[in-house]
Chains A and B, each alone.
Chain A
Amino acid sequence: MTDAMERPFVAEDPRGADGDGLLSRHALGRATLNDVTAVAHRLARAMNSIIEGKPDVVRTAITVLLAEGHLLLEDVPGVGKTMLAKTLARSIDCTVRRVQFTPDLLPSDITGVSVFNQDVRDFEFRPGAIFANVVVGDEINRASPKTQSALLECMEEAQVTVDGQTYTLPRPFIVMATQNPIEMEGTYPLPEAQRDRFMARISLGYPSVRAEVAMLDTHGQAPPLERLQPVTDAATVSALILAVRGVYTSDAVKQYVVDLSAATRASTALRLGASPRATLHLLRASRAHAALEGRDHVLPDDVQAVVVPVLAHRVIPTGETQLARRTTGEVLQELVRRVPVPAAGR
């Protein structure tokens, strides 16, 4: 069922919120790349204090946030998928909703519903769980395809249409969905078309021994999330996203991105290659990656850094690849080694 998390639903534009000193001075101006790195650094530090020993995963999550994408967390139960999503949500001072997906969840629970108000004698729109800056969808594969579709439509269009009325979703807007690849019974795995809407997929994996011990210390007493203070706000994140959009992409890098996509389509190890949407997502994620390093232009190295999280869940391996126990990530790494890096010609 839908349940509001710690904060009440705020319908108005997040830019209207008072920043109570949290970097909101950038909210209406243009953020520079230095701001991007500084804020990202604070975010990462905050998240790393909760999610022990997974800096790469944290970095990817921040990259997706700045690239205006959505995140799919796929792993076995108990490794901290939900914790990661909640940590990111808590680190930003913004509206957060958490939806626990169950088979009887209805699309209207996600999008909202128009109810008749006796007082004004008219239909009144009750916004659903999707109206928040950060939406955490837990165990998304437990909901019926109908409900999944409703969520995915909002993700793609950043707006909701109910009874002919269109409602714009607040900015920034990020959906972080988790799913469990092991328990298949009674679940509705996301079809390829819907997985394609997520910019990146992250698997957390088991923590290292040291990280696990540290985790016992931090999580053993009070829930650590309660101690976590937001380090930025929605307005700042929006400004950062604008800054990321301004990162320059040379023709050579665009060509490289397209070459990589084309390589996945031509690869004999893959049954289905990357879609043009995937190409677009790859470029946006690369841009965010470059911005996180404080660079105003994208390098092939940026593309290579994000290619596995961005593409691995979209491509489908052939039977032979599966029999050889090669993951799509390995196939993609091999393609990266094969596709030549563009040299000259801007």
Chain B
Amino acid sequence: MSRARVPESLLAGAATIVVSWPLTTLFTPNTWVRPTIAMVALVVGAGMAARLLTSSKTLVVLAQLVVAVLAAGGLYGRGHLWHGLPTPDMVLAFNNLLVDARETIQNYAAPAPVNRGIILGIGLAMAATVVVVDHLAVMRRSPALAGLPLLTAFLLSASNSGSSLHPVYFLAAGAVWLLMMGRQGVASLRRWSTTAPMHTAGRPQADGDREGRYGFAATGRMLGIAGLAAAVVLPVAIPHLPTRYLVDGLGRSASATGFSDGQVGLSSTLDLTRSLRDPSTAPVLSYSSTATAADPLRVDVLTTYRDGQWRPDRTQVRYRGGVEVPPPAALDQAVPRKRYRVNVTQSRLEAPQLAAPAPLVEGDLGGIPWGLEEGTDVVRVRRSATSYSVEYLDLDPAMTQLQQPTVTSTSDPGHAQDLVVDPASRPTVDELLDRVVPRGADRIEAAMAIQEYLRSDGGFRYSLELAGPIENERHQVVQYDPLTHFLKTKVGYCIQFATAMVMMARASGIPARMAIGFLPGSFEHGTYTVRAADAHAWPELYFEGVGWLRFEPTPATRSGLAPDYSIAAVADPGDGTALPVPSGTATAPTRERTHDNDQGSSTDPATTGSRADKGFLGRWWRAGSLTLLAWLVLAILAGGLGSVAVPLAARARLRRRLREAEDDARRVEVQWQAMVERIGDLGVLPPRGSTPRQAGQFYQREAYLEGDESRALRRVVDTLERSRYAPPGTQLGDIHADADVVVRAVSGVRRRQDRLRAGWWPQEGVTEWRERRASAAARVRSLWDHVRRR
């Protein structure tokens, strides 16, 4: 059975299963676990069986892959098999299942509901992982390398779960990996021992041998445990830098402001979760505004909602380099407005996107060609603009201007696209409208009712973690489309709120569309700073004579104030100049995972007295400079100590051995050995088996010794020969001074790098450290034996 290598194979399988454990935080319910374990077990079994039959690595891998495919077919491909064998039909079925899985993963934040596709996907991925791990750890006997696929699988879970994983997952994976390493180490040691004489008891004979083996094992164990402990403890102790990604431009800081030229793109397929969860504190945008309260910056507008997802529309853009933009055609002159200017000093948004409030009336992009998308009036740029200024209108229409009748796609064909309601969620939406919107309400009344319902009255909760799957009375999971799911569970974030409002507005006859962009960001000393986590989505509703107006259905804990016109009816109808009044803050439900910098005007006390555009580096520098300095000093100290540790050990070793020598002969021998080692460090090594005399001749030849140096060398060799081979009682001199002369003479003819190496890394010192380590290991070993005997 040793050919099958059962323990190693089982460990490889166990390691794969353990690294798939954190996937339980990504998917719910855990119905995928049993099939996955079954697949892994089958593949491991196939590996062991194949190894019994063949020693070819390729054949074993092939056998495992075949078994994995057969197992997947047996588990998920029923009805598509031919006598249990896969058919092209099955491949198609698998493809459909995997497409399902992909859509689920795209549409759901963790934990995503599990379907057959997900189970198949996880099973296949884990089977592939176990094939690779088995191949590396068992066939190629390098479990260290097998750590890479394991780590990859582990990181897939760790990087997608949004929050930090519980350390127990990492500890478990690390422990199994160490077990694999240990198992391989034991196997290797066993193979050595067959060449060493053994007692009948199976223990090696010589004590030295025993110490060597135990020393290796003990050192390995200590290193492994220390490494695991350090991986858990060190993150607590070391100064903590904010998480940074490559796009932050680590190490490529372009200017003293701490900004970098890395760029940020905002996915227009509305996968805002990633941005919202982004813990990076690097600013995406910095700007100043002439407005008293800055408005959200719009980046994109989406009209088409299909299969539970917003899809980008392709529209034409006419680029130009000018400055003035005509005001929206629909805007009536009678609508009260204010004109504000926004000066963007720094932007990392990628072309063709540009963040700007709407509606835009003037833009100065420093010569970069730009234009408005036809139909949506979204700003597009040819090249990424890092600094620009725009002017926009802050519309404040009176209530009377917004009291317009609702329309249908037949009565307003121009906005037919903006009135399409997602058929999957239509029943739920209609049912909700019956309760929320009074009969016969005009556009603004309906809009305000919907916004109020979502924002505060409906009992919705803002959370980046969506609710789990819905179960019916018989505890079966019911699959709904994303919008219905949100409306039923009442847990979600801006996209769900905005989508719900768009659909409800459309269903009640108001043309509506989805806008995405950024909240105004944090305000500090006259500058707004927008970070990735400020990404936001909101609905825009169309009013004749006014144009598209922003509404804010997301609860105030996240989005701040709703626009005046959408709440003015409650506070002060007809007067558009009233100060904004927060709406819904009192009724905001419990906040579970909101962001720290939600409120646009929050200030950071740690940064008082500094210019905000110094960015995070500046802030961090002041906060962490002392810690950094302490660490720097520590590192320099450690480096300095480390660099002299080996030479010092070499000296200590020579002194100790001279002290321990019981007679002159031993002392001469020790000094000779030290001299040979030192000259060896310089790169001059006499041939193996040389007698002292031959070694002396070799040194003489290699180092071109002559005169006093040559005589010193001869004295050293003579003394050594007499100490070794002359009759007892021969007088021996001290060769220390002569040996020094010889070493200096040899050193004089060597290259500088040889001299440096000899000075910094003497072999004697290395040997000394090795012996200290071995003796430490032996001590640990004896202690361990002692404990075990107890």
Q: Chain A: residues with CB nearer than 8 A to chain B?
A: 248, 250, 252-253, 296-301, 304, 336-344, 346
Contact = CB atoms under 8 A, between A and B. Distances in A.
A297 B727 contact: yes
B754 interface: no
B691 A252 contact: no
Among all A-B residue pairs, the 6 with the closest Cβ atoms: A248-B727, A300-B691, A297-B726, A250-B725, A344-B669, A337-B689
A299 B665 contact: no
A342 B724 CA distance: 9
A56 B124 CA distance: 80
Contacts of A253: 725
Interface string B306-343: 00000000000000000000000000000000000000
Given A250-B725, A340-B688, A343-B673, 5 more contacts: A248-B726, A297-B725, A299-B691, A344-B666, A346-B665
Contacts of B724: 250, 252, 342-344, 346
Nearest to B661: A344
Contacts of A297: 722, 725-727
B725 A341 contact: no
B377 interface: no
B691 A296 contact: no
B669 A336 contact: no
A339 B689 contact: yes
A301 B690 CA distance: 9
Nearest to B690: A341
Nearest to A248: B727
B665 A341 contact: no
B577 to A, nearest CB: 103
A340 B725 contact: no
B728 interface: yes
Given A343-B669, A344-B666, A346-B665, A250 B691 contact: no
B687 interface: yes
Contacts, number: 52
Contact of B689 (A336, A344, A346): A336
B748 to A, nearest CB: 28
Taking each of A296, A298, A299, A336, which has the highest tally of chain B beta carbons within 10 Å of its own beta carbon?
A299
B289 to A, nearest CB: 85
B729 to A, nearest CB: 11
Interface in B723-749: 724-728
Nearest to A344: B669
B689 A301 contact: no
Interface of B: 665-666, 669, 673, 687-694, 721-722, 724-728
Contact of B693 (A252, A299, A340): A299
Contacts of A342: 724
A283 to B, nearest CB: 13
Contacts of A340: 688-689
Contacts of B688: 337-338, 340
B292 to A, nearest CB: 92
A301 B691 contact: yes
A296 B724 CA distance: 13
18 contacts: A248-B725, A250-B726, A252-B724, A296-B727, A297-B725, A297-B726, A299-B721, A301-B693, A301-B694, A338-B689, A341-B689, A341-B691, A342-B724, A343-B673, A344-B666, A344-B724, A346-B725, A346-B728
A168 B689 CA distance: 44
Nearest to B687: A337
A338 B688 CA distance: 7
Taking each of A248, A252, A340, A344, which has the highest tally of chain B beta carbons within 10 Å of its own beta carbon?
A344
Nearest to A290: B725
Contacts of A337: 687-689
A125 to B, nearest CB: 45
Nearest to B670: A344
Nearest to B695: A341
Contact of A304 (B691, B692, B721, B722): B691
A301 B721 CA distance: 10
Contacts of B673: 343
Contacts of A301: 691, 693-694
A253 B691 CA distance: 11
Nearest to B672: A343
Contacts of A344: 665-666, 669, 724
A309 B666 CA distance: 34
Taking each of B665, B669, B727, B728, which has the highest tally of chain A beta carbons within 10 Å of its own beta carbon?
B727
A344 B670 CA distance: 10
Taking each of B689, B692, B722, which has the highest tally of chain A beta carbons within 10 Å of its own beta carbon?
B689
A313 B721 CA distance: 30
B669 A296 contact: no
B689 A299 contact: no
Taking each of A250, A253, A300, A337, which has the highest tally of chain B beta carbons within 10 Å of its own beta carbon?
A300
Nearest to B721: A299
Contacts of B693: 299, 301
Contacts of B692: 341
Taking each of B689, B694, B725, B728, which has the highest tally of chain A beta carbons within 10 Å of its own beta carbon?
B725
Contacts of B725: 248, 250, 252-253, 297-300, 346
